[in-house]
Amino acid sequence: MTEQLTLHARATPAGAVIELAGDLDHHTVPEVRAALPGLDLGEGQQLTLDLGGLTFCDSSGITVLIAARNHALATNATIALVSVPDRVSRIFRLVGLDQAFPTHLTAQDAEAAWRATAD
């Protein structure tokens, strides 16, 4: 049984932050995909995905994370993942996606890294 996904988006000076909690799978990815076009994300900003609340992530979940990366890059923004659960970071390392997603411990760390490159 799929655990419901909760998605909370907020704006910061660095850009949009999306916090995901629950299962990110083929049942729940449409909600994430539908949220992407409505994000307030400008050129030079950063899309931060907080995955600390994920309980499960399957291949469709990884696909929607790649879609989020593509969305950020299409707006000339960057992307960062924060609070990535060990099981997800292990999968990313195995398939080489750890090279495509900068990761940080917290959203504050990601914003600090963004500020360091934006100045």
| C-alpha distances out from residue 70 to 22, 66, 75, Å | 23, 6, 9
CATH for 6-113, among 3.30.750.24, 3.10.20.30, 3.40.50.720, 3.90.400.10?
A: 3.30.750.24
Residues of the chain above pLDDT 90, percent: 82
H and E: helices and strands count for the chain: 4, 5
SS3 38: helix
> Which residue type is seen at 44?
G
Report the C-alpha dihedral over residues 97, 98, 102, 103, rounded to 10 degrees: 120
Residue 119 banded pLDDT, cuts 50, 70, 90? low
> For the chain, which residues make up each domain, given as ranges?
6-113
pTM of the model: 0.93
Pairwise CA distance, residues 57 & 117, whole Å: 30
> In the prediction, which pLDDT does 46 show?
96
**For residue range 20-71, what is the model confidence (pLDDT) as tens digits?**
999 999 999 999 999 999 998 999 999 999 999 999 999 999 999 999 999 9
Pairwise CA distance, residues 90 & 98, whole Å: 9
Pairwise CA distance, residues 3 & 101, whole Å: 25
Q: For the chain, state the CA radius of gyration.
A: 13
